[in-house]
């Protein structure tokens, strides 16, 4: 039991690796991203090498899919040095190119139109992108700023034909075995916080926004599972979901209560942790019905 409490300060990139290894999440993201690529391939000239920006997911498994499809340039923007170090080591070992790891806080860049323009000119070589991916990275931007962030990316970084793909944990669930319920319950109980990062609601808002009238805005929800037969690894992922210690500083007593709940509810009966996750795709310049 104490081992589960002690894992609460593991590096986020290590927690993400555990989640990636033992969950269906990255397969799900890969499947949805393949649908986006299929849509873009119908709309983009065959001879043009596509370019992409992946925000905050530089060391995750979808890197392979991105690197293979965006031969005009794949830009990986991440704030964590360890995640970028993984990519740089892989680039050296496997000769992966053209891939460009970039360190920075995407919210500082994309919430300001002048900074977004400078980012395009100084970091992206002045050439716009076919895909911008926010795969589990919008957590780090307040939901009431998503409109500004996405509008800047849409207006200033995306090509006339392109897509923005976002993935987030669903905001609402009554299932006590889901990541959403765990977060809403414990963050709500100890900090009075409720998850307002609702990607499906955001999609409905964009569809009513006249500034996105020419775009296709599509949403869907998938369920993915996570199961690992090691309690410390399970708890490491739980702390990542509960945003400890980066956002919520749970006390030792609170961490013990959370650890006991996870042990009794999930680990002892050998039940998986489930995640309902939402996908949002914004297509620009795509005439046919887009896939998601």
CA dihedral (117, 122, 125, 128) in degrees, to 10, reads: -20
- pLDDT band with cut points at 50, 70 and 90 for residue 13: low
Domains along the chain?
13-170+196-227+276-284 (3.40.50.150)
pLDDT computed for residue 10 by the predictor: 54
Tens-place pLDDT, residues 114-173: 999 999 999 999 999 999 999 999 988 999 999 999 999 999 999 999 999 999 999 999
Helix (H/G/I), strand (E/B), else coil: 187: helix
Strand partners, 132: 53, 164
| CB proximity list for 278: less than 8 A, separation 6 or greater | 167, 168, 169, 170, 171, 198, 199, 200, 219, 220, 221
CA distance 99 to 73: 6
CA distance 285 to 155: 12
Q: Locate tokens 């963050």: which residue?
A: 187
- The continuous run of DSSP H or E covering 149 comes out as helix 146-152
Tokens found for residue 261:
């709940």
Helix (H/G/I), strand (E/B), else coil: 141: coil
Peptide bond into 242 cis (omega under 30): no
Strands (E) across 20-104 are located at 51-55, 73-78, 99-103
pLDDT computed for residue 276 by the predictor: 98
pLDDT computed for residue 179 by the predictor: 97
pTM of the model: 0.91
Considering the chain, what is the average pLDDT of its residues?
92
């Amino acid at each position: 039991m104490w081992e589960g409490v002690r894992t609460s300060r593991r590096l986020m990139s290590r927690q993400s690796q555990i989640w990636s290894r033992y969950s269906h999440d990255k397969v799900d993201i890969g499947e949805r991203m393949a649908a986006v690529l299929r849509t873009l391939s119908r709309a983009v000239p065959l001879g043009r090498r596509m370019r992409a920006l992946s925000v905050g997911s530089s060391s995750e498994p979808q890197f392979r899919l991105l690197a293979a499809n965006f031969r005009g340039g794949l830009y990986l923007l991440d704030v964590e040095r360890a995640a970028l170090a993984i990519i740089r080591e892989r680039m050296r070992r496997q000769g992966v190119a053209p891939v460009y790891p970039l360190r920075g806080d995407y919210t500082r860049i994309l919430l300001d139109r002048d900074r977004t323009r400078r980012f395009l000119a100084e970091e992206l070589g002045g050439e716009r992108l076919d895909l911008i991916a926010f795969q589990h990275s919008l957590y780090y931007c307040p939901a009431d700023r998503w409109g500004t962030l996405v509008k800047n990316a849409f207006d200033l970084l995306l090509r006339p034909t392109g897509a923005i793909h976002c993935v987030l944990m669903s905001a609402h669930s009554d299932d006590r075995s889901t990541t959403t319920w765990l977060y809403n319950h414990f963050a709500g109980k100890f900090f009075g916080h409720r998850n307002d990062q609702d990607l499906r609601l955001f999609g409905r808002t964009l569809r009513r926004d006249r500034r996105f009238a020419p775009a296709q805005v599509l949403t869907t929800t998938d369920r993915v599972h996570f199961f690992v037969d090691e309690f410390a690894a399970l708890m490491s992922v739980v702390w990542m979901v509960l945003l400890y210690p980066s956002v919520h500083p749970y006390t030792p007593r609170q961490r013990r209560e959370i650890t006991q709940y996870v042990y009794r509810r999930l680990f002892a009966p050998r039940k998986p942790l489930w995640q309902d996750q939402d996908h949002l795709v914004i297509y620009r310049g795509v005439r046919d019905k887009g896939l998601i």
